[in-house]
Amino acid sequence: MIQNCPNRLIIGIVCLAADDHSVIFKLTKNMWSFKASQVFLTRRWFCKSSISRAGIDLMSLEEKHSPGREEFYFDILYGIHPISCALEAKRRTIETVYYRRDLVNRNERVKEILERCWTENVKTLPLPQSKIDTIVPKGKPHQGLLAKATRLYYKPTSCTQQSIAELLSGKEASKPVWLLLNEIQDPMNFGSILRSAYFMGCDKIFVTSHKSCSLTPVVSKASSGVMELMPIHSINNTTEFCKILKESNWDVVGTGSKADDPNGTTYTPVGSFHLSHPTVIILGNEGRGLPDELVDFCTHKIYIESRNDLNKNVDSMNVSAAAAVILHSVLNNSNNRR
């Protein structure tokens, strides 16, 4: 009988029967919690179903199983270059490509991507501009193109002589140049560095396995799709990694400014550095730079020269801009032919 009564009637019956005010308070509190849960679930169902009706369900991204991983989730890529590079590299499984219908006859790049999808049996679905704008993070230039695709992850690399030797393929230059990013956390900086490194001809890129930016759609867009093309390796012990390279006759090149080292360590201008051995260039965290334990392993320490009357509030370059200048100097200097 009580099961069919309205909630208010149940509370009233219990209140009349109970002398203990704490019992009344607990029952009332639990009832309000139940009602709040009902409201939350109703709102969640409404949002989920409305997104599904548009042809894409982002609130219940399905899980897939992969060897070595319990769950393999999906990302939403956006923009022409990331999606085009992802289709070309085939390092992801692309489930669906979503596009603005009017772009098919107006944008040759979008048309080319869709034709490739149709050839390779990748599902495509049109979406209105208003729906695309609600899916992509606010202010991000999606160019009317989205793709639901499996995520990319770093390639873990052991800090051993054998694993490092295996990375030296026959396709690399006689004096390979690797880039080590120590705790780079901003996705826009990270993506920009990847783009510059690829453009300049850097052979491999490594990141620290902790306190580093993940391989996200934002990074892919900032890199103009380079993240899709170039595998990124992760290492869990940067000092051991640099130690092994140094013992293998590599140049370990740290970056900073002339004022970085209070102990008087000499930093030389980047233009004075000559590529004579296989080289790894280390870029430090946006705020802290390189830790002392890494600086101690460096065979060279370089900096970018600035104007003489530099304002004290602008004492360094953004790390992504510095990366472009350093890589251009090291990889394209006439004295550094590989």
Q: Which domains does the chain have, with CATH numbers?
A: 64-150 (3.30.1330.30), 155-336 (3.40.1280.10)
Band of pLDDT at residue 14, cut at 50, 70 and 90: very low
pTM above 0.85, yes or no: no
The mean-pLDDT minimum among 76-80, 106-110, 115-119, 180-184 falls in 106-110
Band of pLDDT at residue 60, cut at 50, 70 and 90: very low
Band of pLDDT at residue 67, cut at 50, 70 and 90: very low
Q: pLDDT value at position 293?
A: 87
Flag whether pLDDT at 336 surpasses 60.
no
Report d(CA 301, CA 265) in Å as an integer.
8
- CB-based contact 217:79 (threshold 8 Å): no
- CB-based contact 217:208 (threshold 8 Å): no
The proportion of the chain whose per-residue pLDDT surpasses 90, expressed as a percent, equals: 49
- Count Cα atoms within 13 angstroms, Cβ side, for 311: 3
- Count Cα atoms within 13 angstroms, Cβ side, for 197: 33
Report d(CA 65, CA 313) in Å as an integer.
50
Band of pLDDT at residue 43, cut at 50, 70 and 90: very low
Q: pLDDT value at position 124?
A: 95
- CB-based contact 149:74 (threshold 8 Å): yes
Q: Name which of 168, 212, 167 is nearest 191 in CA terms.
A: 212
Band of pLDDT at residue 193, cut at 50, 70 and 90: very high
The mean-pLDDT minimum among 135-139, 197-201, 275-279 falls in 135-139
- Of the two residues 332 and 99, the one the predictor is more confident about is 99
Q: pLDDT value at position 312?
A: 81
Flag whether pLDDT at 170 surpasses 90.
no
